[in-house]
Amino acid sequence: MSRGKTLLRLVSIQRVLVKYGLDDVITATHILRPLRFFFYLFPRSADRSDPLGKRIRLALQELGPIFVKFGQAVSTRRDLLPTDIADELAMLQDRVPPFPGEEAASILTGVYGKPLDEVFSRFDVEPLAAASIAQVHSAALPDGTEVIVKVLRPGVRALIERDIAVLHVIAQLADRYWPGSRRLRPTEVVAEYEKTVLDELDLMREAANTAQLKRNFRGSGLLYVPEIYWDFCRKGVMVQERIYGIPISDMAALRAAGTNIRKLAENGVEIFFTQVFRHNFFHADMHPGNIFVQIDDPENPKYAAVDFGIIGTLSPSDQRYLAENFLAFFDRDYYKIAKLHIDSGWVPPETRVDELETAVRTVCEPIFNKPLAEISFAQVLIRLLEAARRFNMEIQPQLILLHKTLFNIEGLGRELYPELDLWRTAHPVLRRWMDEQVGGRAMISSIRENLPQLRDALRELPFAVRQLSEQAADGRLKLRMDAPDLRSLRDQLRSQQRQRFVLGVGATAFLSGTILLALEASPWLGGPLLAAGVLFFVLGRPGSR
């Protein structure tokens, strides 16, 4: 996208903001402020008496998919927004204006290469729901199975690529002129977001994500994931089982059905941390429009999720680092948190551990032993960001999806059960997972994974020992007092030491493996929630070196 087109898009964004009476957004935004003289060229909204929340929602809808997704994310944080604005933005979760159903039918006819009545026994032209990137229609397969058909919006890729280009320009300007860019790394964050949102346009990828999550939770009483019907899926079309349940945002209906809300909230905690730690495959678009509750048994409610276009994963070091920080946080071991970040290189090595420890304690100590309803994570985050600036901590772009998911979950938690004690719920579950990672089960797994390499090393060891012995017996193993040969001898001795070590390790590994296999027993991971994620948002994890 050329700079000229980018500039035109920036002007277009201003036009929409002015149209809906949101001029203050422009004057408060340094990057847009130089163009504020365009105010006088834009027509004003015919009716500026509409509530502010409605005007914001309409502006985001008109600006396109990227802005709608921003509104969806913000809508989950009712603790940060006035009620009227939160209510309006919540409509972006599943009530985005649809495109004509006849157009969707035409797209599907082209994709399948034959009339829809030859593909489905029934196809409902009226959309069931619409979102920023796609919309869904109800239908039935030839055998009568009820399904939903998800179709990408026409031209949505071009719209997203256009706005991503604008975000790149803004990030580059921030990199150049904003002092805080080194720590928050806006260009890398935008690049990470671009990859995520473009992946979301491939519905075959979403279908594969759905199938993987269904396998992960097969037999679980916590989460139901719909079935995918692969024969009907294409890159721009996905067909999956139609599920039924109460939207998680409909608290009145959940209470009327006698749902055990507390258990529902605690199950949500377990689902999240099971995905992040045990499966390392988590649903990263958990706004209320994508979550339903099945209440066949109100005392044991079950989540049902849809829309797996955005999935997050973590590297093993990310997982371990997250867990260690969470546990140190729950144990109030602020010294360990500080030491972890210095050792990882996330803060300069000259940082004093005691100063960082004090900064973290000052922010986090006041929020312990309080229910979710009494904790302002917005204030905690602001204070942590202030501490981060002092110690030059950096944000890791690859963890943006996790941050986004954590905040979505916090919003859901506030809606469901504000009295939930996050610390009591999270700590024991995470402790069990860590014990599993460093205990007997983890050692057995490591032995199994490395057995092929260990077998190869043991196979080569007799030959190497025999060769050295023959050289010594024949007098061919000579020692000359010059530097090159001394280096060669040193290398040979080190090789012998390594080979002996491998042999010793091999014997020990086989013996230990036999014993551990006989004694093996381990608990499964449960799962906690979000509060410590706010800490992690700022403090991060070790970067690769």
Q: Are residues 221 and 150 in the same domain?
A: yes
Whether pLDDT at 215 is above 50: yes
Q: Are residues 189 and 248 in the same domain?
A: no
How many whole angstroms separate alpha carbon 425 and alpha carbon 423? Answer: 5
Residue-level pLDDT at 200: 85
User: If you compute the radius of gyration of the chain from its CA atoms, what whole number of angstroms results?
Assistant: 28
Of the three residues 196, 224, 249, the one that is the final residue of a domain is 196
Q: Are residues 119 and 234 in the same domain?
A: yes
What is the tens place of the pLDDT at every residue in 327-372?
Answer: 887 788 989 988 887 877 777 888 889 998 998 888 888 877 666 6
Q: Which residues pair with 137 in a beta bridge?
A: 149
Whether pLDDT at 257 is above 90: yes
Residue 336 lies in a domain: no
Joined together, the tokens standing for residue 5 give 């087109």
Residue 332 lies in a domain: no
Domain range for residue 164? 157-196
Joined together, the tokens standing for residue 124 give 């409902």
Residue 74 near residue 410 (C-beta atoms within 8 A): no
Per the structure, the count of domains in the chain is 3
Give the residue, 462 or 119, on which the prediction is more confident.
Answer: 119
Altogether, the residues listed in the chain come to a count of: 545
Residue-level pLDDT at 503: 38
Q: Which range in 78-82, 160-164, 240-244, 405-409 is most confidently predicted, on average pLDDT?
A: 240-244
Q: Are residues 144 and 211 in the same domain?
A: yes
Residue 219 lies in a domain: yes
Q: Are residues 133 and 201 in the same domain?
A: yes
> What's the predicted TM-score (pTM) here?
0.67
Residue-level pLDDT at 146: 97
Q: Are residues 289 and 177 in the same domain?
A: no
Query: Torsions phi, psi of 424, nearest 5?
Result: -65, -35
Whether pLDDT at 86 is above 50: yes
Of the three residues 278, 294, 311, the one that is the final residue of a domain is 311
Residue 319 lies in a domain: no
Q: Of 350, 345, 254, give the one whose Cα is nearest residue 303.
A: 254
Residue-level pLDDT at 530: 30
Q: Of 399, 375, 287, 368, give the one whose Cα is nearest residue 80.
A: 375
How many whole angstroms separate alpha carbon 529 and alpha carbon 387? Answer: 23
Residue 368 lies in a domain: no
Q: Are residues 138 and 234 in the same domain?
A: yes
Strand 246-247 with 237-241, pairing:
unpaired
| Cα atoms found within 13 Å of the Cα of residue 163, Cβ hemisphere only | 19
pLDDT above 90 coverage of the chain, percent:
23
Contacts by 214-223 with C-beta closer than 8 Å and gap 24+?
216/275, 216/279, 216/281, 221/300, 221/302, 222/267, 222/270, 222/271, 222/274, 222/302, 222/303, 223/271, 223/302, 223/303, 223/304, 223/305
Q: What amino acid positions are annotated as catalytic residues? A: 285
Q: Are residues 235 and 298 in the same domain?
A: yes
How many whole angstroms separate alpha carbon 422 and alpha carbon 534? Answer: 13
Residue 428, phi-psi category: left (phi > 0), alpha (psi -120 to 50), beta (remainder):
alpha
State the chain's mean pLDDT as an integer: 76
Residue-level pLDDT at 487: 57
Q: Which range in 55-69, 139-153, 197-211, 412-426 is most confidently predicted, on average pLDDT?
A: 139-153
Q: Tell me if residue 134 falls in helix, strand or coil.
A: strand
Residue 350 lies in a domain: no
Q: Are residues 172 and 257 in the same domain?
A: no
Mean pLDDT of 168-181: 73
Strand 311-312 with 282-283, pairing:
antiparallel
Region of poorest pLDDT, from 37-46, 430-439, 466-475, 498-507: 498-507
Residue-level pLDDT at 230: 97
Residue 146 lies in a domain: yes
Joined together, the tokens standing for residue 317 give 């070091």
Which of the four pLDDT bands, split at 50, 70 and 90, describes residue 109?
A: very high
Which of the four pLDDT bands, split at 50, 70 and 90, describes residue 234?
A: very high
Q: Are residues 164 and 261 in the same domain?
A: no
Residue 251 lies in a domain: yes
DSSP string for 7-27: HHHHHHHHHHHHHTT-HHHHH
Q: Of 150, 153, 131, give the one whose Cα is nearest residue 237.
A: 150
Residue-level pLDDT at 540: 38
Residue 305 belongs to a domain with what CATH number? 3.30.200.20
Give the residue, 507 or 243, on which the prediction is more confident.
Answer: 243
Mean pLDDT of 107-131: 94
How many whole angstroms separate alpha carbon 454 and alpha carbon 509? Answer: 9
SS3 assignment for 285-327 = CCCHHHEEEECCCCCCCEEEECCCCCEECCCHHHHHHHHHHHH
Q: Are residues 283 and 144 in the same domain?
A: yes
Which of the four pLDDT bands, split at 50, 70 and 90, describes residue 384?
A: low
Give the residue, 403 or 92, on which the prediction is more confident.
Answer: 92
Of the three residues 174, 196, 218, the one that is the final residue of a domain is 196
Q: Which residues of 38-57 are buried (b: 16+ CB within 10 A; e: fewer)?
A: eeeeeeebeeeeeeebebbb
Q: Are residues 116 and 247 in the same domain?
A: yes
Q: Which range in 41-55, 257-271, 483-497 is most confidently predicted, on average pLDDT?
A: 257-271
Whether pLDDT at 138 is above 60: yes
Whether pLDDT at 495 is above 90: no
Residue-level pLDDT at 544: 39
* Residues 328, 322, 443: CA angle, nearest 5 degrees: 95
